[in-house]
Amino acid sequence: MTARKIVFSPLPVAATNVFVLGSLVLDKRDILGPKAIIDFSDLKDHQGLARDLVASLDEHAAPEQIESDLSLLSYGQVIRVLLRYCSLEGVPSDFRMRDIDLEFVLDFRVYLQVAFSELKSDVRRRLFGNFERLLRAGQSLGLLSVELVIPKNFKHAFDSDVTQPYTAGEALDIESACREHIRALIARLDKGQELLRQGVDPRGRPSSDPNTGRFMKMEPEDKAWNQLPNLLWYVVNVMDGQFIKYSGRGGTGHSSFNNATNGAYKGPYRKTDVFCHLYPLAEDLIPFIILLAKSVGLNESSILGLRRDCLQEIDGQYVLWFRKARGSAGLYRKIIPTEGQFSPVALLEVLHKITAPLVRHARPEFQELLFLGFTVKGQGREPVKPLDPAYIKAQMNRAGGWCTKNHLTDEHGRQRWFRESGHRVK
């Protein structure tokens, strides 16, 4: 007897209006500090929209895009402003992020301009900028159509406090660029350690043809000297982590490494590609200088002169010891915050860790300094050395420098130029 085969006709996919349902409470106090909690549990109207916005905020904060509890609260503020706008305009209570269209965004932008007209333009810019970032996070979650083109933010106005080195809007861009650079730096150095563990000695003899005994021709990408893990292994285990500009002179004997990193073997890696996976480059320290100057209030010379033992814990508080160029006292002390991923204490601890491998390569008189950077393009002369304000200014303002790479502009959309005293809020 043959069993009957039952075949079901495919069912049509039913439309659904079920989306990610977020919480009304976002608690980040364990990461960002004691005030990092947003609570909409007492909300009576537009709960669905509030849940969408909180879910979007959680998505935006997931990769630690927000540096402190105060930054998180600023996002909570724009959510409350948006919910108040919906109540004033009689927006239906079942309105969700998926219902937001260009007309709604433009109307809300007009509302911000009118409701906050007595305040400076940077307040409106920050509110709309945070709203824009929430919308983009919502798009990544599928809560909002990716076809929605979010309009530009408000233009800068001549109403900023001229005693400050930069406006609030510029400060947001600068802080964001600094945080992104530090995250990328940490990820790069971690990747370097991972690749180093994979590396092998590239100095083995090339494979030969078993019939003729001749060396077999290899494609450039297959050569051992053209593999980044092997180059890292060679620098650490053979060159003792040192940068050697010229090989073959003075009996250094690293000609193969030099050939591999100058293109002679047609490989893709240069010395900068190799050493930047082992050490922080000098320009990698720029974000630390900017964030410390802003959060601690020291000038560049005091920051660059910090010693490796500058941080001390006393009675549960962290004290920063520093020097002043024109100060009468030998050492000054200042209690600094510990809360947040980018707090002064966190920045100093990260800096201490990533610069530790450079200490033994620096001159003895520089080994106690915290700000040690590695320079590949210094023609081999003191690749590890301390930084000075003039060098930092040049690296930030030069063509293709740090400001250009991070697309930093002033309040009028022009290229942002930094003064030597321009990092610190006065």
Across the chain, which has 426 residues, the per-10-residue mean pLDDT values are: 58 48 76 78 88 84 55 83 90 91 88 76 78 88 85 55 52 80 93 94 72 70 89 93 64 78 88 93 91 86 91 88 73 84 90 94 92 75 82 78 75 59 47
What pTM does this model have?
Answer: 0.62
Burial of 111 (0-12, 13-18, 19+ CB in 10 A): middle
Residue spans of alpha helices (H) in 201-330: 228-237, 255-261, 271-275, 286-296, 300-304
Nearest to 119 by CA among 93, 157, 150, 90: 157
Q: What are phi and psi of 187, to 5 degrees?
A: -65, -40
Please tell me the predicted confidence (pLDDT) of residue 120: 64
Please tell me the predicted confidence (pLDDT) of residue 306: 93
Residue spans of alpha helices (H) in 89-149: 102-115, 121-141
Please tell me the predicted confidence (pLDDT) of residue 219: 81
Q: What is the C-alpha to C-alpha distance for residues 347 and 332, in angstroms, rounded to an integer?
A: 19
Question: Where do the structural domains in the chain lie, given as residue ranges?
Answer: 25-146, 282-405
Distances (CA, A) of 189 to 30, 74, 362, 371: 26, 32, 19, 17
What are 3-13's pLDDT values in tens digits? 565 655 565 54
Please tell me the predicted confidence (pLDDT) of residue 411: 56
- Buried b / exposed e along 51-67 (16+ C-beta atoms within 10 A): bbbbbbbbbbbeeeebb
CATH 3.90.15 fits 282-405, yes or no: yes
Please name the amino acid found at residue 423. H
Please name the amino acid found at residue 51. R
DSSP 335-359: EE---STTSHHHHHHHHHHHHGGGG
Per-residue three-class SS string for 361-416: HCCHHHCCECCEEECCCCCCCCCEEECCHHHHHHHHHCCCCHHHHCCCECCCCCEC
Q: What percent of the chain has a predicted confidence (pLDDT) above 90?
A: 24
Please tell me the predicted confidence (pLDDT) of residue 196: 94
Please tell me the predicted confidence (pLDDT) of residue 249: 46
- Rg of the chain over Cα atoms, rounded to whole angstroms, equals 28
DSSP 290-310: HHHHHHH---HHHHHT-BTT-
Please tell me the predicted confidence (pLDDT) of residue 22: 65
Please tell me the predicted confidence (pLDDT) of residue 250: 43
Please tell me the predicted confidence (pLDDT) of residue 328: 59
Residue pair 227/260 in contact (Cβ under 8 Å)? The answer is: no
Q: What are phi and psi of 312, to 5 degrees?
A: -140, 135
